[in-house]
Each structure stands twice: as C-alpha cells, then as structure tokens.
Structure 1
C-alpha cells in the first residue's frame, strides 16, 4: 500500500496542491489528505469538479480531480468539450469500482468493465496506480510531464491502494445570504446583446468575462473580442463552476460569469458549491429568456423557477432580480464597490438573430491569452 501522506507530499513537490472532487471509498484516504493538508473544494458532481479544476488551471494552479468511476460518466462532457478542446489539463484519480473478477455492488459491474476503455475513447492518458511507493513516484513524474504538454492524465485506483489517513475534524461553517431583492416591477426585456453591451462596458483591467455556451459567448465576441473574455463551448452548465475555480485561485481578478437559464438549470447544484465557498470576487449573472436559444428556441422551465431565492438559499451574499438595463448597470457597479458573492437574474427577450457568427479564434488560443492576462493582473 502507498503511504498516503508521503504520496501527497510528492504531489505537492510537483506543484499539485489544489484538489476538487466527489468522494469514493477507494479514494477516501487521499481525499482526507487533500482536506487536511491542501486546498480542497467539494463539488456537487464530477462534471462540476472538472470545471472547477479547469478554472483553477487557467488561474495558474495545477489541479487534481478525485472521483469514483461511476462519476466519470458525469465528467464526460467537460473532459471531451472543455479540457480536450481548450487544452486544459487536469490530473485525475478515478477509482475502479466493479473491477472484473472482484466482488462489488451490482451497480458497478458495467462501469468496472468500461472505465479504462472510456478513458481511452476520450483520449485521456491513464495508468493503473501502483501500490508500490517507488513505482508510484515514477508514475507521478510521468503524469506531470503529460500535464506539462497540456494533456489530462488519470490514475485508475484499485481498492486498498492507499494507507489509512485519518480525517481531521472539519469545521461546519455556513455562508448565509445578506440581501435578497426579488421581482417587484415590470420587465424591460432587453435583447441579450443589449444586456451584454452594458456588462462589457463596465469591465476594467481586472475584469474577466466568462460567457456560457452558445449565443452568449458568440454575441459577446461580436460586441468586443478581448483577451479577458472566455467563450465556453460545449460542457453546458459548467461556466459558473469554472468561474469558481478561477476566482478562488486568482483573487486579484474580478470574475464575471454570464450564464443562461438553460445552462444553469442543467447543473443547478453548482449554486450550492459557489455559495458555500463564496469568493467575493465572483459575480454570477443569469440572462433568462426561458429558452434554449442556440438550438431552436425550445422553452426551458425557468418560468417555474425562482433563481433569486435559490441562489440566496445556497449562500450567495447578495441575490437580486433586475428589471431593466439601468438597474443592471447599477448592480454591477455596486458589486465592484462592495465585493460580495453576488447573483443577478434578468429576464431578456428571445433572440431574433439568425445570422450570428462564431468566434474566429481557436478555443486553446482563448485560454492561452486569458492565462497571460491573469498573470499580468496586480493587486
């Protein structure tokens, strides 16, 4: 078996000190080490963990993601459309529940057979982690070299690989909402482009604008392409988790997440994670048109959801509904002055632009120039 604390120290020597993930009994001792000794973010699901880690990487960290192999299926979308597409590498540890020939619970049987083929199909480099410490150190060195080439690397972990690492007593802190302002007036219903124009006009030399999948990123690009913009493609629903990872690890930047109703509904558990960790330099704006605009205008169920109350219940310090563009501008300026984790929801009209273009810059170039921008931000 591997001495867990020694293994963790080797990871730290290689620069890996930021962890995120979802628990698994096979990985509990490594998770306990991460909680005890490093920065650890407990994600609501494995896809969110990949997005959090990706934001941390762009902010300059070398992140580690921990998950059970059943949760690898939750992570497929960001692995193939965020990490692969943007060339954002993560070091992953995935358990091998349901290993062929070993007795396990019935729900792990199929996943145990397809874990390694699934990694291969996603073009993720992998190794079964050795239980011999010296061999494991050599494997870590190889993994670090792969990460340096901007490619993700996953260790497949068998039962009994890590020695016992007791979990220190955890503090049960709570982050609670200070201010909620719900809908109380008629909506102006501006276009998305009009709302994005207001948001973009308020950026400064410390602002990072993170636009969700689909027309939001495409319209922001047409308004003004800039090195502090990030246009998410694929990995729908991951933009606020990406923003969380970035905001936690680059405190000199102001992270403005521009989300949509369909995107938020897909991974609404991210609100709970954001609210608990609560970076004050994160502003989460949802432009809600009650539609999947990029795929033909099919209706979402956002008309039946009170996003403002949900965000407040999840611990966002401020959660507000804005009715018109002037109020949107006011609330953004207010956040810049007060710096509290803030959620803004605004109803917008459905898009009529059928000839909207696409960014003429490759995703990995978007990532690279954003990383350069972040490195140049000073306190």
Structure 2
C-alpha cells in the first residue's frame, strides 16, 4: 500500500511518534512532507510522550491525532492509554500506527519475538480496536476499516493500524546526515581498546552489533559485554545496577542519544547514586539511525549540562579522536562517575552483521565473567 494513500484515508494533519524500520515509508513521507513541524509532525522521546502530546493536540483542536511506533513501544503507552485516553477517563480518541516486528511466522531478532506474539493481545487488553495491513491488503479494505474506526473515535475510543513487514511503500528518497566526522564503529573501537577487560553494557541497535563485530575482529571473548538488544533506553540503568554491585570494577556503558532521550529520568537516578566506578558514554549522532536515520532532538540540547544538573560529578563533550582518547584514559583512572558525549556522524557499514550468539548465551557468559570480579 502506498503510504500517501494510507494518510489520505486517515485524514489527519498531526503525527507524532518514535521511528521504526517497519514504518520507514511513513517516517520518510512525513519528513519529506512536513520535516519536524510543531503543527504537523513531532518525533518525541518515547511512545508515552507521543501519546500525551497527541492528547494535548486533541484537547486544543478537537481533531484526531496519529501516533506511530514500533510494537515494542506498546509498553510505554499502556499508562496514558489506560489512565488518560480511555473512555472511562477522558475519552480522548487517538489513531495508532504500529509496526509489527516479530510477527509470528516471520523471522526476526530475539528481542522482537515475544513482543510480536503479544502485539494484538496487548491492543485488545487496552481496548484498542485494530486492523492489520499486509502486502495484499487493498486500499478499499483499509478505507472500510477507517470508517468503522471513525465511529469508535466519536465514542472517545482508540484504534490502531498494525503494519506487517513490507506492507507500506514510498517511492521518494530521504537522505539523513550531519556535520560530525567521527564514525560510531571507530568510536567503539577506541572504547574497547581503553576499557580492556572491564565490562561493557551497550545500547540497543547498531552500537551493540558493532561492539560484537569488533570483539570478533580482535579475537576477543564476548564475555566482557552485555548487549542490550531490546529495552531501548535502559542500558544505563542496567549498567548502574551492575556498577553498584561490583564497586571495585570499572563499568562502561555505551549509550545512544535516542536511547538517552527515551528514558532521561534514569540520568537523575544515576547522578543521585553517582557510582565512582562507572563511565557513561553517549554516542550522539542526533538520529534514530538504526531504524532509518530520522532525527532526534539531541543535536539541539546540551547533554553535558543535563548530566551535571543530574549530579554527575564530571561531564564532557568531545568531537575528535584525540579528545576522545584523552577523556577515555582519564575516565578509566577517575574514581568518580564520568559522562562523555561523543559527537558522531550518521552511517554504518552496509555489511554490518548481527550477534551470532543468542541473548541467553550473552547473559550467561556475562554473568559468569562478573562472578570473577569484585
């Protein structure tokens, strides 16, 4: 289905969401048509944030907002859907567009398997009527589903189009980039060199894939790393939990700007606890690169100032490998919580692979290694 036809059928002029590779056609269409426009299109920090933002749009205009997301974001919308939107509370109508990763019978990565199994059930449990759009779904079927949805919207209910892999198409090209020169894989290679045998917790997406391949290329064990392949935005909290319980071991967290934005409150908890044995590195390319390259707001905010305000005793931003190496070496020796923002370009190797070990193997190998440390 052409994404232009889907948006015509929905007939809304306000979209907010968190980008998803399964919804790349929609994301690129919105960026080409609106860009980032407060009146029409906002990429928010997380899916709950999107839902509340869309609710405000409806309160101000009386019109129907659209929230788009990967199905992994359903967990983030449960609270605002149940306690804000629901027709037993404020009866705020909303249209969700959800990319169905991990659909049963369709091969996907381990972090998507269970989420894919419960995608429709979670919508049913939240009283969100849904219609699945696949490659063979006709425009007429989608239009008929939307007519039924409009009746529910008048009752203050929520609805969802669930998008199967390859169901949406968009012919125009969209190119994302920035002015930064440092490449993420090389940044991680420098971190690996300095961290030595210290444990690393890495964030969702290409960063963990690149860390895995760097270990392979170096002939190193993967036992040093916990690859947070799902649970976007939580790698720094995982690292905090490890750091507090291994106080004599330096713990490194490789984070991303989109992940930090998604659950930024974790920085306040980190700063309040301030484990002296932890280094929090945020590789900031101002983009949701793993799912297509759509922008985050991280290029417009001061992450180091936020870290300091949250209680980090040391925070710095670097944009060259000379400065990065200097700060990594200093952080390794420093007995204070350190925050390093690294300004990064957008892009990765076309042949970038995925971890060849299972998530369970990764966890067990990492835990076994942690048992040897203090």
Could you tell me the TM-score, scaled by structure 1's length?
Answer: 0.51
Gapped runs of 5+ residues in structure 1? 1-46, 48-75, 81-96, 99-105, 109-117, 123-186
Partner residue of 1:189? 181
CA distance in 2, matches of 1:373, 1:326: 31
Q: Is the 8 A contact 1:78 1:235 kept in 2?
A: no
Deviations 1:167-199 (A, max 9, x none): xxxxxxxxxxxxxxxxxxxx8621001101100
Superposed displacement of residue 78, structure 1: 10
Superposed displacement of residue 342, structure 1: 0.7
C-alpha RMSD of matched pairs (Å): 3.3
Partner residue of 1:331? 327
Superposed displacement of residue 352, structure 1: 3.8
Q: How many residues align?
A: 212
SS in 1 for 2:201: strand
Partner residue of 1:202? 194
CA distance in 2, matches of 1:268, 1:370: 26
2:223 is the alignment partner of 1:218: no
CA distance in 2, matches of 1:247, 1:301: 29
Distance 1:107 1:283, change over 3 A: farther
CA distance in 2, matches of 1:228, 1:219: 14
Q: Is the 8 A contact 1:78 1:234 kept in 2?
A: no
Superposed displacement of residue 334, structure 1: 0.9
Alignment counterpart, residue 287 of structure 1, candidates 280, 283, 288: 283
Distance 1:327 1:376, change over 3 A: same
Matches within 5 A, 1:222-237: 222-225=213-216, 226-237=222-233
Q: Is the 8 A contact 1:257 1:285 kept in 2?
A: yes
SS in 2 for 1:202: helix
Partner residue of 2:317? 321
Deviations 1:320-377 (A, max 9, x none): 1112112111111112212210100011111142221100000111110111111112
Partner residue of 1:371? 367
Superposed displacement of residue 256, structure 1: 0.5
Q: Is the 8 A contact 1:254 1:281 kept in 2?
A: yes
CA distance in 1, matches of 2:261, 2:204: 13
The answer to which structure, 1 or 2, has the higher relative contact order (CA under 8 A, 6+ apart) is 1
CA distance in 2, matches of 1:299, 1:328: 24
Deviations 1:143-186 (A, max 9, x none): xxxxxxxxxxxxxxxxxxxxxxxxxxxxxxxxxxxxxxxxxxxx
Q: Is the 8 A contact 1:281 1:340 kept in 2?
A: yes
CA distance in 2, matches of 1:345, 1:200: 16
Gapped runs of 5+ residues in structure 2? 1-47, 49-70, 76-81, 91-114, 120-178, 217-221
